[in-house]
Amino acid sequence: MIEPVVVMLGRGRVPVDTPLLRADDLGVLRGDGVFETMHVRGGRPWLLDEHLARMVNSAARLELPLPERSVLRELAETALRGWPADQEGALRLVCTRGPEWGGPATVFATLAPIRDATRLARAQGLTVATATLGFPVAVREGAPWLLGGVKALSYAVNMACQRWAAQQGLDDVLWVSTDGYALEAPTSTLCWLRDETLSTVPADQTGVLPGTTARWLLDHAADLGCRATEQLVQPEELTAADGVWLVSSVRGVAAVRELDGVALKPSPLTADLQRLAGHPI
């Protein structure tokens, strides 16, 4: 088993068990910070520029000082040095607001192998249940403090949802708004196929995270003979779709094979989308 890598801004590579955070770090105390997770294949991060762009946007939304992109790029390069080309990895870049009692932002990178369960989901698909996120679809548009579209460190709700799914014997959750629209999953974006059109949920109207993987797939949908669009959808419509997927940088493309107890028919497009995204199966 390959060792995870940790790189701290200003300190370089350190052993993974090195204590790095102060007890008053606002990332720890309040989840106050931003992060990005990228897929590493062939020893390189996939869609690094897109992730850095989203991180810059997330930091701006939190009024958080983020190092220059060149500094973050260098941090990533330091983490990737010597990473075996045949080893899939997840590269995380993190920036917290730093110590509560004063001090600079805390910035570090981690790089670790992909978990077996993640790889298995690509091959076997996912069982998913809808779960409410507790507000109407459009609320985050007019409420910037709800941090729609921001990849903030505060993922406790996201992780609680995934634990809840596991307690039900399911693989994941699809969040829905109180007015009945599908949003996203706690760590991935919803995509579906209907009438040869690959769709995802519009981030600007809903506050879901604008997914880099979904963007890549929609931008290249024509290569698969599909149109691409962003639109709202209700879960009932998904059960009649020609394919439903949860996609993310690390997960890649995983077919939803069951939604709220209804078996969804396997889509021939799954293999094509997986090839397009380039994650090993």
Sign of the C-alpha dihedral computed for residues 212, 214, 218 and 221 taken in this order: positive
Shortest distance in whole angstroms from residue 132 CB to ligand PLP: 15
Distant-in-sequence, close-in-space partners of 91: CB < 8 Å, separation ≥ 6: 37, 38, 39, 40, 45, 76, 79, 80, 109, 110, 111
248 binds ligand PLP (CB under 6 A): yes
Phi-psi region of 124 (alpha: psi -120 to 50; beta: other; left: phi over 0): alpha
Task: Name the strand (E) or helix (H) holding 229.
Answer: strand 227-230
- Distances in Å between the Cα of 72 and the Cα atoms of 34, 76, 112, 258 are 13, 6, 17, 39
Stretch that binds ligand PLP, among 137-145, 182-190, 220-228, 253-261 (CB under 6 A): 182-190
Contact status: 189 vs ligand PLP (CB under 6 A) = yes
Confirm or reject binding of residue 149 to ligand PLP (CB under 6 A).
no
CB of 96: closest distance to ligand PLP in angstroms? 17
Least distance between ligand PLP and beta carbon 219 (Å): 13
Indicate the helix (H) or strand (E) that contains 247: strand 243-248
Residues 34-63 within binding reach of ligand PLP (CB under 6 A): 37
Please say which residue, 186 or 235, places its beta carbon nearer to ligand PLP. Answer: 186
Q: At what angle do helices 48-61 and 69-80 cross, to 10 degrees?
A: 130
- Using the rule CB under 6 A, give the single segment among 113-121, 130-138, 166-174, 183-191 that binds ligand PLP: 183-191
Looking at the Cβ atoms of 25 and 184, the one nearer to ligand PLP is 184
Q: Which of 249, 267, 270, 274 binds ligand PLP (CB under 6 A)?
A: 249
Q: Return d(Cα 56, Cα 59) in angstroms, integer.
A: 5
Residue 106 or 189: which CB sits closer to ligand PLP?
Answer: 189
Residue 90 contacts residue 111 (beta carbons within 8 Å): yes
- Does position 213 interact with ligand PLP (CB under 6 A)? The reply is yes
From the list 13-21, 212-220, 227-235, 237-245, the region that binds ligand PLP by CB under 6 A is: 212-220
Contact window for ligand PLP (CB under 6 A) among 10-18, 77-85, 96-104, 187-195: 187-195
Which residues partner with 248 through β-bridges?
252
List residues near ligand PLP by CB under 6 A: 37, 184, 186-189, 209, 211-214, 248-249
